[in-house]
A and B are shown apart, each in its own frame.
Chain A
Amino acid sequence: MITSLLASAGPLTPAARSFLSPTGVEIVFLLVGIAVLGSAVIAVTTKQLVHAALWLVVALGGLAVEFLLLTAEFVAWVQVLIYLGSVVVLVLFGLMLTKAPIGRSPDADSGNRWVALAVALAAAGTLVTLVVDAFRTSWIDLGGGGGSAAMTGQSLFRHWVLPFEALSVLLLAALVGAIVLSRTKDERPPKPRPGKLRTGKPVGLSSVPASTTPPQES
């Protein structure tokens, strides 16, 4: 519905597709885009690790707005849900679990930051040049309703069912893998009791003493 609102706000077919006379959608898109870029730059350069995660929230949220502007409504909400809701929370957890320092840490950037800067600038220059050269005259006709939940659901469950199911298996595998990886191993093997050798029977949970160290994290 926001999409339809925005679509009704701007002209559907502008008379002149010039860069010098932007439509309202374009102006909004540019402003939000600048905000996204700025927060992203701060996120990758700030010395305070927790702040970086919070600036990431701003950047991703801005991107969700951009999705909305591009009439991909469902994707925008998913973006908000998953990225803002879970990924950033996960990142914050990760920072805390790895005992990231609160406050400014002077060694947040590694030694090859100048190489990284050069590579990033070169990549940006190349990509921007290429993209601008390629899509200088392309025009997106923002028709209504292309990205609504109904349309997305239809196409997803009509045409993309099989990848969707495969993805669910992938998520399950990732879940199991993450649990296996982060599980704290019991480092002390159970001591066999003298005189009572239980042959042929596996050592059950009951053999683990209750005073085993609980998992340190999570």
Chain B
Amino acid sequence: MNLALPVLVPVLPALGAAATLATGKRAPGFARPLAILPVAASAVLALVVALQLGTGHSLDAATRLTPTGGPDVSLALHLDGFSSLISVLVGLVATCVQVYSTAYLKDDPRYPSYAALVSLFTAAMFLVVYSGDLIVLLVGWEIMGICSYFLIGHHWETADARSASLKAFLVTKLGDIPFLFGIFLLGTDAKSFRITDVLTAAADGRLGHPTLIALLLLAGVAGKSAQFPLHTWLPDAMAGPTPVSALIHAATMVAAGIYLVARLLPVFLLSGAALVVLSVMAAVTMVGSALCALAQDDLKRVLAYSTVGQLGYMAGALASGDRDAAVFHLVSHGAFKALLFLTAGVVIHAAHTNSISAMSRMPGLRKRVPDAYWTLAIGLAALIGLPPFSGFFSKEAVLGAAEHAANGEALTNGLGPASAVPSAAGWIVLISASATALLTAAYATRLWLVAFHGPSAAPATAEGVPYSPEIDEADPAQAEPHAMRWPLWVLAVPTMGFGIAGLRSNWLPALLDGGSLRPSAATAVIGTGLALAGVLISYAAWRSATARAAAVTWPAAADRVPEQAGPPAVETIPADPGRILLGPLFRPAQHGFFVDRLYSAAFVGPTVAAARLVRFLDREVVETYVRGAGTAPRMLGWVVRRAQNGNAQAYLSALLAGVVLLTVLVAVGT
């Protein structure tokens, strides 16, 4: 197989990014072709590479990049079913997002830099996926981080975007430092940074500290994939433009952590403790984020919390030892979450607000954006896991993996013994995943009902001053351009068909490790039943809430319309099933269970205090010495100047006194 093709896949978008940056100011007309074409070409090339590689094969190529004295760093390529699958997903989503962005950010003066960063990000993601060397992978990993930072801060005029980008950067870096040490430890133990060598070493049992390595790597994964202790940056990252959220914070970058664990799963299988930690992390993340999503009013924040939750599913599958299920869910989630975000972009663009409660008061929003209405329904159905959408199959695969792990017969597919996975991890994942299935169905239903099915009796109140934190560049008055509509349907195809197509002809398991991904009867019944229950409960709550709101408080709500200009957090949703379902939990859930406040009290506060102390020491203590160094000569000079007063008698007095003194000294001395 020609090596040039896989090499070109990450190189093309990087060159496109450089060209876009170089020509962006002088020739803005080239920005759009330069943004779309390299990414699209990479997507096609990734598909070609995947087809050429075929199923069941893998390809390794390496050239030594630099001798380090320790394990060498090599520019290595590793292609297998996982990388093929994910690279095709990345190419597809990136192309759709680039096309979508041309319309979404049509009049943005910073579009060239935006497009260049998206291209660069795509290149970095390809690099991470294709890399066969941990250090090279780390390079791509960090480039993604910095691109994410810049893209979240795209609207840097707003304080939200600035603080969100800083927060994302700091929190992910917090995870990246242990991650770096984990890689070093791994490379030292395995005497190589090549992933294949590392895996061979893991299989031979040559790794000295598997638990430590796994925990250090998990910190980086938690940061990148927004798992529980480090998840707080992702909801705030929605301050970035919606296509960025679709590409980076839903479909691809956050999946990089999952992908890395999948690649290094044999290492994790050596440590049961790490798997239990991963499962607990995943469980807390899933349930907590689903509860938060149920209370959010901002459409994009709902989707962000659902992303966190779905990443928890993938982490749960990995904790159960089944990387096929994790990657399966990663790909299907990547497709439908990108679809959901792009749809959300269209809806936000049309409604000119992020708040679903404000949307609920807009009559005819459904007819205004029919494409978005239907594709949102498809995406949410996939998210809930209704058959026959792709989310159903992948979620059932996760549940099945958890069930097997709980029974002590984990589906490790030959990566390690089934007994390597503690059954406790399986149980934790199984229970939390089932609960999350219920909650996911509830919040997805709530989102769809509240946003599009507001009370039909509602008066036309959307003409106030709508609130939107997003600075929309496209004109909301006219219908969305085609560039914003057809990517939805392109992404809707895999959302609907990926699961069936992948399992029907059995090519997907063959592409991966070969384990069965078909849903088992028990989990399918339980999962679907819970999902349907969630939908029904949410619908019932919505009905009662709507009835109550319509009967009692509607006039008051109508009077409150001018207040819509305020941020949605202070606004009460007239017919919110989440409020009924969550009860007293609603407020904590709305604020992310105050994790942010806890962090700011536990970490930010002391850091700021320490900084203040340092500033005090610098200003008051160090500066005193500096000032003293200036003041002492000045005082000395003042004294000397005072002596030079022009009074001849004073000079003479000093002179004679000196003479007398000298005389006395000489007389006494001799």
Q: How far is the CB of A185 from chain B (nearest CB, A)?
A: 25
Q: Is the CB of B667 within 8 A of A130?
A: yes
Q: Is the CB of A116 within 8 A of B653?
A: yes
Q: Is the CB of B660 within 8 A of A112?
A: no
Whether A8 sits at the interface, judged by CB under 8 Å, is no
Q: How far is the CB of B670 from chain A (nearest CB, A)?
A: 12
Cβ 8 A contact of A126, one of B647, B649, B653, B667: B667
Q: How far is the CA of A116 from the CA of B667 in the complex (A)?
A: 22
Q: Could you say which residues of chain A place their CB within 8 Å of the CB of B657?
A: 115, 118-119, 122
One digit per residue, 1 when the CB lies within 8 angstroms of any chain A CB and 0 when it does not, for chain B 639-670 equals 00000000101100100110110011001000
Chain A contributes a number of interface residues (CB within 8 A of B) equal to 11
Q: Is the CB of A110 within 8 A of B656?
A: no
One digit per residue, 1 when the CB lies within 8 angstroms of any chain B CB and 0 when it does not, for chain A 106-132 equals 000010100110110011001001100
Q: Which residue of A lies closest to B663 (CB)?
A: A126
Q: How far is the CA of A122 from the CA of B661 in the complex (A)?
A: 9
Q: Is the CB of B649 within 8 A of A116?
A: yes
Q: Is the CB of B649 within 8 A of A110?
A: yes
Within 8 A of A (CB), among B612-658: 647, 649-650, 653, 656-657
Q: Is the CB of A112 within 8 A of B656?
A: no
Given contacts A126-B667, A130-B667, contact A115 B653 (CB under 8 A): yes
Q: Could you say which residues of chain A place their CB within 8 Å of the CB of B656?
A: 119, 123
Q: Could you say which residues of chain A place their CB within 8 Å of the CB of B653?
A: 112, 115-116, 119
Q: How far is the CB of B114 from chain A (nearest CB, A)?
A: 78
Q: Could you say which residues of chain A place their CB within 8 Å of the CB of B667?
A: 126, 129-130
Q: Could you say which residues of chain B place their CB within 8 Å of the CB of A126?
A: 660, 663-664, 667
Q: How far is the CA of A38 from the CA of B667 in the complex (A)?
A: 29
Q: Does more than half of chain B's interface fall in helix, strand or loop, or is it mixed?
A: helix
Q: Does more than half of chain A's interface fall in helix, strand or loop, or is it mixed?
A: helix
Q: How far is the CA of A148 from the CA of B664 in the complex (A)?
A: 39
Q: How far is the CA of A110 from the CA of B660 in the complex (A)?
A: 22
Q: Could you say which residues of chain B place their CB within 8 Å of the CB of A118?
A: 657
Q: How far is the CA of A123 from the CA of B647 in the complex (A)?
A: 21
Chain B contributes a number of interface residues (CB within 8 A of A) equal to 11
Q: How far is the CB of A210 from chain B (nearest CB, A)?
A: 42
Q: How far is the CB of A8 from chain B (nearest CB, A)?
A: 40
Cβ 8 A contact of A112, one of B649, B659, B663: B649
Q: Which residue of B lies closest to A116 (CB)?
A: B653
Q: How far is the CA of A119 from the CA of B663 in the complex (A)?
A: 13
Given contacts A119-B653, A123-B656, contact A112 B664 (CB under 8 A): no
Q: Could you say which residues of chain B place their CB within 8 Å of the CB of A110?
A: 647, 649
Q: How far is the CA of A146 from the CA of B126 in the complex (A)?
A: 122
Q: How far is the CB of A44 from chain B (nearest CB, A)?
A: 13
One digit per residue, 1 when the CB lies within 8 angstroms of any chain A CB and 0 when it does not, for chain B 206-247 equals 000000000000000000000000000000000000000000
Q: How far is the CB of B29 from chain A (nearest CB, A)?
A: 83
Q: Is the CB of A123 within 8 A of B649?
A: no
Q: Could you say which residues of chain A place their CB within 8 Å of the CB of B660?
A: 119, 122-123, 126
Q: Could you say which residues of chain B place their CB within 8 Å of the CB of A116?
A: 649, 653
Q: Could you say which residues of chain A place their CB within 8 Å of the CB of B659?
A: 123
Q: Could you say which residues of chain A place their CB within 8 Å of the CB of B647?
A: 110, 112
Q: Could you say which residues of chain B place their CB within 8 Å of the CB of A112?
A: 647, 649-650, 653
Q: How far is the CB of B140 from chain A (nearest CB, A)?
A: 82
Q: How far is the CB of B436 from chain A (nearest CB, A)?
A: 94
Q: How far is the CA of A119 from the CA of B650 in the complex (A)?
A: 11
Q: Could you say which residues of chain B place their CB within 8 Å of the CB of A123?
A: 656, 659-660
Within 8 A of B (CB), among A20-51: none
Most buried by B among A119, A126, A130: A119
Q: How far is the CA of A4 from the CA of B659 in the complex (A)?
A: 41
Q: Could you say which residues of chain B place their CB within 8 Å of the CB of A122?
A: 657, 660
Q: How far is the CB of B35 from chain A (nearest CB, A)?
A: 85
Q: Which residue of B lies closest to A110 (CB)?
A: B649
Q: How far is the CA of A118 from the CA of B659 in the complex (A)?
A: 13
Q: Which residue of B lies closest to A115 (CB)?
A: B653
Within 8 A of A (CB), among B317-349: none
Q: How far is the CB of B659 from chain A (nearest CB, A)?
A: 8
Q: How far is the CB of A22 from chain B (nearest CB, A)?
A: 28
Within 8 A of A (CB), among B243-273: none
Q: How far is the CB of A124 from chain B (nearest CB, A)?
A: 10
Q: How far is the CA of A115 from the CA of B656 in the complex (A)?
A: 11
Q: How far is the CA of A115 from the CA of B660 in the complex (A)?
A: 13
Q: How far is the CA of A116 from the CA of B656 in the complex (A)?
A: 10
Most buried by A among B647, B660, B667: B660
Q: How far is the CB of B497 from chain A (nearest CB, A)?
A: 107
Q: How far is the CB of B242 from chain A (nearest CB, A)?
A: 84
Q: Which residue of B lies closest to A122 (CB)?
A: B660
Q: How far is the CA of A112 from the CA of B650 in the complex (A)?
A: 7
Q: How far is the CB of B334 from chain A (nearest CB, A)?
A: 93
A–B complex contacts, Cβ < 8 Å, 26 sampled: A110-B647, A110-B649, A112-B647, A112-B649, A112-B650, A112-B653, A115-B650, A115-B653, A115-B657, A116-B649, A116-B653, A118-B657, A119-B653, A119-B656, A119-B657, A119-B660, A122-B657, A122-B660, A123-B656, A123-B659, A123-B660, A126-B660, A126-B663, A126-B664, A130-B663, A130-B667
Known contacts A119-B656, A126-B664; 4 further A-B pairs (Cβ under 8 A)? A110-B647, A115-B653, A115-B657, A122-B660
What is the interface of chain A, defined by CB distance below 8 A to chain B? 110, 112, 115-116, 118-119, 122-123, 126, 129-130
What is the interface of chain B, defined by CB distance below 8 A to chain A? 647, 649-650, 653, 656-657, 659-660, 663-664, 667
What are the 10 closest A-B residue pairs judged by CB atoms, nearest first?
A122-B660, A115-B653, A119-B657, A119-B656, A123-B660, A119-B653, A126-B660, A126-B663, A112-B650, A126-B664
